[in-house]
Amino acid sequence: MSDIPEEDGAAGHDPGWLREHQLELTLATDRRIIDHAHTLADTLQFIVTETRHLLNASHVDILFEYADGLRNEISSDQAEIGYFIPFGESIAGLVLSNHEPVLVNDLQSHPQLRDRYFPREVERANETSPAGRSPARSVVAAELTLDGQGIGVVNVEAHPDVQFDQSHLDFVEAVARQISMALSHAALFDEDNFRNATDRLLVEATRYDSDMVMRQVLDHILSALNSLAFVKPDAAEILFADPQDGRSLIVAYSTNNADIGVRVDIASSVCGEAFHEGRTVVLQRAFERPDYRPILEGMRCEMAIPITFGGSNRFPIGVLNLESSRENAFSNVGQVLAERFSRRVVNAIAMTKIRADIDSELQDQLMVLAADQVLNAVHRINNHVGSIRAIVAELLDDIDSPQPPDNEDVAGRLRRIMTDAEHTLEIPGELRRRIGTLQEAADVNEQVEIGLSSVRIPQYIELVTDLAPGLPNIPCTALDLVVENLLLNAIKAMQKRPGPLHVTTWLDERLPREPFIVVTVRDAGVGMTRRELEGLFEPRQTSRRGSGLGFGMVWVRGWVRRTQGLIDIDSKPGVGTTVNIRFQIDPQLIDRTAEGGNAP
C-alpha cells in the first residue's frame, strides 16, 4: 500500500507538484529504511512503484552493474527481473560509461540513442518493434552510485505523450540518491550488539580455548555478512597469513568445516592476489583463469576482499573470500557492500587473530616450561634411584653378614629392584632424545602401532583397528606418544564399561587438491558435555569423564600445532568421544596402488 496520498500522476507535468511529491516520496522511503520490518527488496519495490505512478511511466527499472552487463534486479515489470542487458547495446550502459544522465522524449528520432535501446521482454518475444528501430518512447535514466562508485542505473520509460523535462530528471536523480541510501542502510548491521558480543568473547571468555573463541567470533562475522542484501555467496571463508609459511594463507573459518586448516598458495590463488596487492579481486568465471583452484569444489565465481589493518600505513592481515556456484554472481553493488562490511569488522577480526597468536605463543611457552619441569623432575628421580642402586649394591655385598636374611629371597627381590631402577634411569635419556630430535619422516601406521603396544587394553574393551595401507610418511616426532595419550584417555572414559575402542588411519580426499591423513581414536565412553568440551584444553582440568584430561591434552594440542596439523573433537554424553588428528599432505605423495584408506 502506498504511503503517499493518491493523486493523478498526470499532474506530474507541473514542476512544483513534482517537487512536492518528491519530498513526500523521500520521507516515506526514509521511514521504510528505518523500519526493520521492511526488507531492502520491499523498499526498492516501493520506490519503483511510486516512481512509476508519479511520473506516469510505463516501466521503471533498477539495474545493477556486473562484469559484462547490467542485470534488472527490481522492476515494475516482473517479466524483466533477472534479464541481463549488455553495456554497448543499451542506454543504461551509456549512462554508466559517461557518468551522465539521459533524457529523451522522441527516442525514434534521436540518432545516437535509438540504436542503443535494448528491447523489453514483450518486444523481444512479440517482435513488435521493426528491425533496427526503437519503439516510440520517452526515456529518462540516472546513475546509481555507492561510495562514489557507479553501481547501476535507474531507468524510466513512458509513452511519448509523456514529455519529460528537467523536473522529471531531478526527480529521478533524487530517486537514485534514495536507492543509494537504502543500499547503504542495508549494509549496516547491529554494530553495537556485534561489538559487545565479540568483545565479550575476546576479553571475558579467557577460560575457553582460543580456537573456539576464534570460531565463535568469526561465526558472528559471517552471520552478519549473510544478512546483507545482494551479497549471497554459496560459501564464505576468512583466511589469515600462515605463520609457518610466508607463501601461504590458511583458512581460519569457513562455512564448510572441511575447509578449515586448508593452506592456499598466495602466488597462484585469487585470495593470494587480493592479499598481496591489497585490493578486491573478482573472478566472475572460473574458466577464464586456467590456474584457478576454488577453496570449495564446484565453485565458479569468487570475490576476495583484503582485510587491512592500521592507520596511514595499512597492511593486510587476511582475506574475506566469497564463492558462488554461479558464474557472474557478484555485482558491483555486492562488491561495494562486502568491502564496506569488511572495513566495519576489521577490528574484530584483527583482535581475534591477535588473541589466537598470543594464546598460541603462550601455549608454546607453557610447553617449554613444562619440559623444563619434567627434566628437573627426572633429574631428581635420577638422584634418588642412583642412591637406591648404591644401597642395593651394598646389601648384596653384605649378604653374608652374621645374621643374614634369607639370601635367595633377598637377592631375588633386590635384583628385581635393580632391574626396575635401570629402566628408570633410562627415562632421562629417552626424554632428551625425544625433545632434541628434529622432525623426520614418520610412518603413520608404525607410530600408531607403537602407541598401541605401549598401552595395556583391559579385557572388557574390544580394540578395533583399521590402518589404511600405503599412507605417505609425515614429518613429525613422537606421534606414538600422542596415540598413547589418546588411548589412555579413552580407556578412562569408558569407566570399565564393555564396548569397542576404534583406532583407524585413513586418507581424507573430500578435497582432492588438499588431502589429509587422519588418525582417529573413537571410544564408547561417557562422553563430554559442551561445557566440558570447551574446557578440554585447560591445564589441570578435572572432568566428570573420569579421564584425567588436562595437561595431557594441552600437550597433544601443542604437539599438533607444532606439526602444522589439525585436531577436532566430537563428543556426546552417553555416546562417546571421537578425536581426529589431521595432517595435510601433497596429493602427489599418495600411493594409488594401495587399497583401502577411505573414510571410516
| Per-residue pLDDT band at 380 (split at 50, 70, 90) | very low
Please provide the average confidence, as pLDDT, over all residues in the chain. 78
Do 506 and 594 form a contact (C-beta atoms < 8 A)?
Answer: no
Rounded CA separation 184/178 (Å):
10
pLDDT for 14 equals: 78
Q: pLDDT tens for residues 387-427?
A: 666 667 677 677 766 667 666 767 776 776 776 676 666 65
- What does the pLDDT look like over 244-279, one tens digit per residue? 788 899 988 887 777 888 888 898 889 999 999 989
- Neighbouring CB atoms inside 10 A of 28's CB total 18
| Tens-digit pLDDT profile for residues 313-332 | 777 888 988 888 888 878 88
3-state secondary structure of 586: coil
Calculated CA dihedral for residues 208, 209, 210, 216, nearest 10 degrees? -70
Question: What's residue 331's pLDDT?
Answer: 82
Q: Concatenate the DSSP letters of all residues of 380-420 into one string.
A: HHHHHHHHHHHHHHHHHHTTTSSS---HHHHHHHHHHHHHH
pLDDT at 503: 97
Backbone angles phi, psi at 324, to 5 degrees: -135, 145
